[in-house]
A and B are shown apart, each in its own frame.
Chain A
Amino acid sequence: MPQGTVNLTADKLAGGPSFETKMERLSEHEMLLNMGPQHPSTHGVLRVVLRLDGEVVTQAVPDLGYLHRGVEKLAENRTYPQFIILTDRDDYLCAMLNNWSYCMAVEKLMKVEIPERADTLRIIAGELNRIASHLLFIGTFGIDIGAFTPFLYAFGREREMILDLFEQLCGARITYNYVRIGGVSNDVPEGWIEKAKKFVQHMKGCLKEYDNLLSYNPIFMDRTKGIGVLSKEKAISYGITGPNLRASGVPLDLRKQAPYGLYSKFQFDVAVRQNGDCWDRYMVRRDEIEQSCRILEQALETFPAAGEILGKVPRANLRPPAGEAYSQLEGARGWLGVYLVSDGGLTPYRLHVRAPSFINLAALQEILVGWKVADVVAILGSIDIVLGEVDR
């Protein structure tokens, strides 16, 4: 071996031929650090190979696909309603919005009218799920940084309440299969709206508690403020959407600027922060919980007392007309899009999911460069990925 150089490629590190990305020769003071795929802070099975110069990251190569189940291929062998349960498994932390985005694409193709009651229920379920997803982020992000307590509040207390509400609504706590083509599957049980109203009031009070526990905690702020800055231009170039983009100072929210469903009826603000660092990415999500509560209050107040929950859609042999449709909505992690091609048959001819986590994660290789190895976990945590959606 030549003096001072080690030819270590990432695949040699893994001991297998799977990872072909060649890293340049390492000099004497550099080293490769393998993180994952089994690592508590990657929130799933993600592997990142880090090239370090002392403590500073000089290159980061994410390696994904450990959770690839071929959802897009599976869709081609399933009828349209059958595929809804697979969308649950994409982003399992906000499955309602996954159901919704897929059904929206089919509805666009079929030009179905959704009853107002069903549309309001979608918004209520969707916003509750968005809160649940952000609560999980707050909890796990705290753990990533070393704060265990907020997790017990956000994840163990408030998120649990939302899951209980969902259980009463549709019988499931994680994978709902609730939104159906043309509407939703179940009507609200008696007293559910009151319970949801109570929860929203409770949730608004909790934000203050999180602020005291985590948001303005000096140690937490030291670990996240000014760390992992993502500029506006870079964010747009990488196609980053959702809270990560809004943390970089771009007030882009499909619910506001390209409203779908009944969102144009509701009053709410788009949560924006300007610096694009880890703390801003955290705070945008914290602010979004507040705004989701506002939407929920109005939606629960104006919830139609009676009406259909399912539009006029054939119950069997659903065959959308031949053609193509792309529809997207504001998911908890960014724009959640579904591109659907139909040939008039019983199964989709082609289905593509524009997964926000996958596209947001691509920026990781750029954000990590120049930061200390101790910040890697904070930066990765702040992007808030779900590996089920990254790999699909």
Chain B
Amino acid sequence: MDPKFVRAGDDLWLKTGISDLHNLSEKLKNELKFDLLNMLTAVDFIKENKFEVVYQFVRSSAPADAVFVKLEIPREGEPNVPSLAGLFSSADWQERETFDLFGIRFDGHPNPTRILLWEGYPGWPLRKDYVHTPDRYDNGAEIGLPKATPAAHP
């Protein structure tokens, strides 16, 4: 296990790989007393063709101590990350949310279902290549609204 330490401002960022994630979080929790998995989310870097899954661990005895852990995974196929739900209960819903909006699967999650959207929702809305399927709520012309033109991200 050789995580790379990156320091950005006051925060401590760690980069790790899929195979190390579980060991690293176990170590953070049990040895280093970062016992609170505070935040878990993902970012879609479509130009670099990767997802970044971001975790923030906090010491419940001193919340000013925080470690951010970053995991890079390729975008192709079915992106897969080991689940931390067995170590931290707070990962349960946050991983489901990330799965729901990004389509990143969490291996070993006890209940890997969508949470905010319904089963059968087309696509993963927070991915940058998500295309919205027009539905009956889109036709604003009927009530005199101008046609919406979403700003393309530069």
Which residues of A approach B to under 8 Å, CB–CB?
Answer: 17-21, 64-65, 68, 70, 72-73, 76-77, 108, 234, 236-241, 250, 252, 254, 257-258, 323-326, 328, 335, 337, 339, 341, 343, 345-347, 349-350, 352, 354, 358-359, 361-363, 366, 391-392
Complex partner residue of A68 from B11, B117, B119, CB under 8 angstroms:
B117
* Among B44, B63, B113, contact of A254 (Cβ-Cβ < 8 Å): B63
Cβ contacts under 8 Å, B111 to chain A = 21
Inter-subunit contact A258/B119 (CB<8 Å) = no
Known: A68-B117, A391-B116. A326 touches B153 (CB 8 A): no
Q: Does B103 contact A (CB under 8 A)?
A: no
> B62's contact among A257, A354, A359, by CB below 8 Å, is which?
A257
Task: Please name 16 pairs of A and B residues whose Cβ atoms are closer than 8 Å in the assembled complex, sorted by A.
Answer: A21-B113, A76-B153, A77-B153, A234-B89, A236-B35, A238-B89, A239-B88, A239-B94, A254-B63, A325-B9, A337-B38, A345-B154, A349-B153, A359-B94, A361-B93, A366-B89
The reply to whether B63 and A252 contact each other, CB–CB distance below 8 Å, is: yes
Q: Is the CB of A239 within 8 A of B38?
A: yes
Residues of A within 8 A of B101 (CB): 72
C-alpha gap A191/B146 in the complex (Å): 44
Q: Which residue of A lies closest to B151 (CB)?
A: A77
> Are B119 and A239 closer than 8 Å at their CB atoms?
no
Kindly state the separation between the CA atoms of A339 and B114 in the bound complex, as whole angstroms. 22
A358 contacts across to B, CB distance below 8 A: 93, 97
A73–B126 CA distance with the chains assembled, in angstroms: 6
Contact B153 A347 (CB under 8 A): yes
A380 to chain B, nearest CB (A): 16
A219 to B64, CA, bound (A): 41
Please judge, given known A-B contacts A239-B38, A257-B64, A339-B39, whether A362 and B90 are in contact too, CB under 8 Å. Answer: yes
Q: Which of A17, A237, A326 is in CB contact (< 8 Å) with B88?
A: A237
List the 5 closest pairs (A to B, CB-CB), nearest first. A239-B90, A258-B64, A18-B118, A65-B116, A352-B41
Is the Cβ of A72 less than 8 Å from the Cβ of B126? Answer: yes
**Among residues 6 to 33 in chain B, which have CB atoms less than 8 Å away from a CB atom of chain A?**
8-9, 11
State which size class the interface on B falls in.
Answer: 35 or more
Residue of B nearest to A358 (CB): B93
* B144 surroundings in chain A (CB, below 8 A): none
In the bound complex, CA of A17 to CA of B64 (Å): 44
Chain A contacts of B35 at CB under 8 A? 236-237
- B residues 90-116 near A (Cβ < 8 Å) are 90, 92-94, 97, 101, 111, 113-116
A326 touches B39 (CB 8 A): yes
CB-based contact A252/B60 at 8 Å:
yes
With contacts A77-B150, A237-B88, A337-B56 known, what are 19 further pairs, Cβ within 8 A?
Answer: A18-B118, A20-B113, A65-B117, A68-B116, A73-B126, A238-B89, A240-B90, A324-B8, A325-B9, A326-B11, A326-B56, A335-B63, A345-B154, A346-B154, A347-B151, A352-B39, A354-B41, A362-B93, A366-B89
Q: Does any Cβ of A come within 8 Å of B79's Cβ?
A: no
What chain A residues lie within 8 Å of B41 (beta carbons)? 339, 352, 354
